[in-house]
Structure 1
Amino acid sequence: MKNLETLDLSYNELSSLTIQDSKLLSNLSKMRHLDLSDNDFDKDAFGILGALPSLKFLSLELNRIEGPLSNQELTYNLSNLEVLFLGYNQLNGTLPIEGLTSFRHLESLDLSGNNFASIPPSIGALSSLKALFLAKNNLNGSLPIQGLCKLKKLEELDLSQNCFEGILPPCLSNLTSLKFFDISLNQFTGNISSSLFGSLNSLEYISLSHNRFEGLFSFRSFANHSNLEVVELISDNDKFEVETEFTDWIPMFQLKVLVLSNCNLNKLSGDVPKFLLYQNKLMAVDLSHNNLTSSFPNWLLVNNTRLAYLALQNNSFVNLFFLPQYCYISTYDIDVSDNHLSGQIQANIGDMFPNIQSLNLSRNAFEGGIPSSFGKMRELSVLDLSNNNLSREVPNQLVRNCISLWTLKLSYNNFRGQIFSVDFNLTHIRTLQLNDNQFTGPL
């Protein structure tokens, strides 16, 4: 065992490491990878560290390590340690930065899912860090600008689901190596300066959602970010605006996910962002709750054949919900509810979305009947056609073949005839709303 370099004891029910265990491990001087995650270890587990001078990777995630973590408990001669995972324990207090500095080559630190309350300014001493994960703690107050902005090697920074407040410091623009940046679900306020992200050209993922930002933000700040793939920005107030149409511009990026919800998107024009015309790798788009106008942007689906999720609810789209003849096999969720779409639903809609799981067309002005091709949507689990002007009988193909349906909402229309016929085969149904129609027949 002396040459053992990797030991994985994760997902067991181990609860302690004794002195004898420590002597055993002292023979493993070449061990580089130790995974003790998802057990019942407490702080005593740190006692083995001095016996493993070659260790590069250590995971003690998902254990029962609790209380403050003192600097002394982390002072070991582990100059080779590069990765330390202590997430999802019950640690609290202040981050023990002085102890962590003994790990001189530490590149990845994960303390997510604990109860830490503050980050000292001395965090800047962890100069080798490339990844810092502090999500789901109780961190509060302003960001420790003096230290955080010194971590110029950072490529991943996750501060989501905390209680941070105040403005985003301009010095964050110094983190030019940043690829992943998530500050969602905090209480940040003030304007988002366009210059803040202009220099972060390495960004691939950015989430600013669920904060208290105000003022106007120009999406064109990301124009030269050629690696950008995910942008998420959901506003929780009505004081924040995102503008994409100040000038004509062509992005260098190809997004996979775009979420711009409830952010007064293009408030003056009401236009769907024109830069989306140049995107062809989108997998998820959410432009909901923005009062966008014009016709339904069917070109989003046409241009992006891998688009799985499209949320356009609560806007002001008008005219037909029309799609060119194509089989959109990747699409599983569409929500265009709360708009002003009208006309009849395409007869071949079931052929176009064979794998769709959720379809919400409610609160529009659709008329005519439900196409029988709905019966070809065998994966459909949620269908909401309520609050329209739909009429005629519900096709047998729908209630016979869509056996995965667990939510069916047809209320506030003009449907007639029987729905609980001998063909009714919705055995997994949990929510069924048929009120305010003209259905007849026995139950």
Structure 2
Amino acid sequence: MTTHSTNTKTCIHLELPSFIIPCQATCRKVDRNSLLAFSIGVSSRYPLNWSSSVDCCMWEGVSCDNNDRVIHLLLPSRDLVGSISPSIVNLSCLSRLILSQNWLTGPIPDGFFMGFNRLVIIDLSHNRLTGKFSDSDELPSTVTRVDLSSNRFDGTIQSSFLQPALNLQRFDVSNNSFSGSIPSSVCRFSPSIQHLDFSNNDFVGPISQGFGQCSNLQILRAGFNNLSGVIPSDIYMVSALQELYLPANKLSGVIDGGIVNLINLRTLALYGNELTGKISQDIGRLSNLEHLLLHINKLNGTLPQSLTNCTRLTTLNLRVNLLEGELSAFDFSKFIQLRSIDLGNNFFSGRLPASLFLCKNLTAIRLATNSLNGEVLPDIMALQSLSFLSLSNNSLNNFTSAIRILTGCKNLTTLILSKNFYNEPLPGDENLIRADEFQNLQVLGLGGCGFTGQIPMWLSRLDKLEVLDLSLNNITGSVPGWFGNLPNLFYLDLSQNLLSGYFTMELIKLRRLATQQTSDQMLLLRDIRYDMISKIGVAEINSSIALAPEKGAGVSQVCPPV
């Protein structure tokens, strides 16, 4: 008989001529029973292969250490339905618990967090867990990552809950219903914290000072809450910060000039607040900035010239502010990585900026609702990736030239030119658009221009057109039957024109437009890149409706200007 000792376990080999009894580890009974109780509380379309005849250290999602204690329970995306058994707390050696992307419901067990004194990672995200943290709950000192996001937790997060977590690096409670104040004291307790996400909850009140102590903090998110007051100045001391995400709150005051100290910042998202004042003239010091999202505030002044130093920008959104100045005087050409720009709903003036069309990677442009004038420049044809263009509600002229130029943008899917070209005639040349042009165009907005003339034949070549707005013009004549040959058209607005005659039977071919199924629903058109939401009503088409000369077509809803 020979005895070997390895890792505190003793295995005895019996040297008999006919057989050998192998050395085999088995998990501890307390862990096995805890796992079995957990499995009883959940079900799945794909049952866990936790057979009682197999050592639990060999079960799916379970790992043990050299002492046969369960240290990992990893069951993400297993379609688990049910609740978390209180017995799970008996897995006292657990270091990783990952149950994310399941359908777990109900509260977490009492003493859940305190029961794991060796826990390093806990991820319960993307379930339907509910309940509050009790005043006695606290995280273990060993934990580095906590992800409770996308559940239905509520109540407050007390400082005492975070206080023991000396090694915490990532804390994510986004997409829940937590209330009260944001616990900025976490930085005092957890100096190694790198990622904090409190977004999409019901946190209220001002953001307290304290985040300045998070010297390693890279990501701070607290958007879509009810936070008020000013942005605390000590945030601008966290030079490691790469993302500051505080949109859709009630923050007020100016954006402190100290923000330019965040030289590693890649995303600055402060949109949907009540911020005032000017954009810092030294914003160009943020040379690593990729996403600048300051829209829907009350910012004033001009675009700072130093912004051109932010050559890594891919997204620039400043719409719905009080910004002004001649846009063509700003040099956009250095934004060589820019993909989307939205300067709509401001007070910019002058002609369209030719330098903007040197940004060859642009896919989306909105300059709508400003005071721009002049013509659409041929330079825009260089933007071969452009898919979204909105220039509505300006004072542009020469519609015929604009259309001829824009046919050179082969990938356009959305073109909004409404409220421009006042009282110009609609070009009647049916060859204005060739058969191979505008072949990706799905949305065309030409409302509110006061166009004269008849509905032009060249529109019939837009085979992929889904939305056409010709409302609020002075178009005469009848509704052409070739509309019935546009197979994808589901919204047609001809209201507030001078049309006459009858709808032809050809319009019956517009199945998506004419069916009761679509006529009763409200369709939501959304371009998420610009947070643009337009509700469009689809009206039922009746082939016998007559159009009075002084009233528009029989389409009841007006497409809102973009």
Instruction: State TM-score, norm by structure 1.
Output: 0.80
Amino acid at match of 1:43: T
Asked if 1 retains the 8 angstrom alpha-carbon contact of 2:376 and 2:405, the reply is no
Q: How many residues align?
A: 408
Answer whether contact 1:101 1:125 (CA < 8 A) is retained. Answer: yes
Contact 1:216 1:241 in 2 (8 A): yes
Work out whether residues 127 and 152 of structure 1, in 8 Å CA contact, stay in contact via their aligned partners in 2: yes
Change (3 A) 1:438 1:225: closer
Cα shift at 1:26:
3.0
Could you tell me how far 1:326 is from its partner in structure 2?
A: 2.5
CA deviation after TM superposition for structure 1 residue 384, in Å: 1.4
Which letter maps to 1:311? I
One of 479, 485, 490 as aligned partner of 1:376: 485
Query: How many Å apart are 1:209 and its aligned residue?
Result: 0.9
Separation (CA, whole Å) in 2 of partners of 1:384 and 1:292: 22
The answer on 1:256 being equivalent to 2:363 is yes
The structure-2 alpha-carbon separation of the partners of 1:202 and 1:183, relative to structure 1 and needing over 3 Å to count, comes to same
3-state SS of paired residue (1:124) = helix
One-letter code aligned to 1:95: I
What is the CA–CA distance in structure 2 between the aligned matches of 1:242 and 1:178, rounded to whole Å? 27
Residue identity matched to 1:26:
N
3-state DSSP of counterpart to 1:275: helix
SS of alignment partner, residue 114 of structure 2? helix
* Alpha-carbon distance in 2 for matches of 1:218, 1:181: 20
Amino acid at match of 2:290: K
Check conservation: 2:157, 2:180, Cα contact below 8 A: no
Q: Which moved more, 1:386-395 or 1:132-141?
A: 386-395
* Rounded Cα–Cα distance in structure 1 between residues aligned with 2:437 and 2:175: 44
Match of 1:72 among 154, 172, 185: 185
The one of 180, 188, 202 equivalent to 2:312 is: 202
Asked if 2 retains the 8 angstrom alpha-carbon contact of 1:30 and 1:52, the reply is no
Which AA in structure 1 matches 2:260? C
Q: 1:295: which partner in 2?
A: 399
Which one has more relative contact order, counting CA pairs under 8 Å at least 6 apart? 1
Structure 1 residue 249: Cα displacement: 8.4
What is the distance in 2 between the residues matched to 1:216 and 1:387? 34
Q: Indicate which of 265, 288, 303 corresponds to 1:177.
A: 288
Matched to 1:279, the amino acid is L
C-alpha contact 1:9 1:36 (8 A) present in aligned 2: no
Are 1:283 and 2:375 an aligned pair? no
* 2:21 aligned partner: none
Which whole-Å deviations, capped at 9, do the CAs of 1:402-442 have from their partners, x for residues lacking one? Answer: 3435679xxxxxxxxxxxxxxxxxxx736999652499xxx
Q: Is structure 2 residue 156 aligned with structure 1 residue 39?
A: no
Q: Is the 8 A contact 1:15 1:41 kept in 2?
A: no
Within the alignment, does 1:82 sit opposite 2:82 as a pair?
no
The separation in 1 between residues aligned to 2:382 and 2:292, in whole angstroms, is 24
Q: What secondary structure does 2:236 align onto? A: helix
* Structure 2 residue identity aligned to 1:307: L
For residue 145 of structure 1, report the CA deviation from its aligned partner.
Answer: 1.7
How far residue 127 of structure 1 moved from its aligned partner, in angstroms, is 1.5
C-alpha displacement at 1:181, in angstroms? 0.6
Distance 1:74 1:395 in 2: 70
TM-score (norm 2): 0.65
Q: Deviations over 1:228-264 (max 9, x none)?
A: 111111225xx5315435x788614331111001211
Aligned in 2, Cα 1:307/1:241: closer, same or farther, shift over 3 Å?
Answer: same
What SS does the aligned partner of 1:189 have? strand
Counterpart amino acid of residue 24 in structure 1: G
Does residue 393 of the first structure (1) align with residue 502 of the second (2)?
A: yes
Q: Which amino acid aligns with 1:290?
A: N
Where in structure 2 are the equivalents of 1:258-337 lying within 5 Å? Answer: 258-265=365-372, 267=373, 270-296=374-400, 297-299=402-404, 301-316=406-421, 318-320=425-427, 322-326=432-436, 328-337=438-447
CA distance in structure 2 between the partners assigned to 1:244 and 1:301 by the alignment = 14
Taking every aligned residue pair, what percent have the same amino acid on both sides?
20
> Are the equivalent residues in 2 in contact too, given 1:259–1:285 (CA < 8 A)?
yes
Given the superposition, is the C-alpha separation of residues 335 and 40 from structure 1 closer, same or farther in structure 2, using an over 3 Å criterion?
same
1:375-399 deviations in whole A, cap 9, x for unaligned? 1334323211234454443221213
Is contact 1:28-1:52 (8 Å) kept? no
Are the equivalent residues in 1 in contact too, given 2:165–2:189 (CA < 8 A)?
A: no
Runs of 5+ in structure 2 lacking a partner? Answer: 1-71, 73-93, 123-143, 521-537, 552-562
Specify the SS of the correspondent of 2:367. strand
Q: Aligned in 2, Cα 1:402/1:88: closer, same or farther, shift over 3 Å?
A: same
Cα pair distance change 1:57/1:253, threshold 3 Å: farther
Residue in 2 that maps onto 1:24: 115
In structure 1, distance between residues paired with 2:145 and 2:350: 46
CA deviation map 1:47-104 (0-9, x unaligned): 555666665443211223222234435533361x432210122223332342x34544
3-state secondary structure, aligned to 2:244: strand
Q: Is the 8 A contact 1:210 1:234 kept in 2?
A: yes
* 1:165 correspondence with 2:276: yes
Distance 1:326 1:391 in 2: 32
In the alignment, structure 1 residue 62 sits paired with structure 2 residue 170: no
Counterpart of 1:362 in structure 2 is 471
